[in-house]
Amino acid sequence: MPAARDPYTALDPESEEHKEMRAQGLVPVVLWLPDTSDPEFIAEARRRAQEIADCPDCGQTRERAMHPELVRTPDPSSPHFAEEMRRQAKAINESPHADDDMDFIESVSILLEE
């Protein structure tokens, strides 16, 4: 099993991992997630789990633990970003499903504007 990596290492601009990811046009984003050791969180999680367990229409569920995770997002100021956006736009435009794809993108865009 590979050793667990420290997600905060990538935040250090001097780390090799940070430099490699920046070279790929990515920027680090830190997400704040609930503290699973907080008694209020535990009580709410138990309440919701019981609701699911009592629901005959909910189907099978599985436990999921929340933990800090480092997520990489594209850096819009990177030349790689512009190049990749052009490549993806061209692929969408040349797709036999282009009209359906654009209808979907426009429908989501309208939702985001509201």
* Predicted confidence (pLDDT) per residue in 23-69, tens digit: 887 777 767 778 888 899 889 888 888 887 777 665 544 444 445 56
pLDDT exceeds cutoff 50 at 98:
yes
Distance between CA atoms of residues 75 and 30, nearest Å: 15
Residue 5, CA distances (Å) to 16, 23, 51 in order? 13, 20, 35
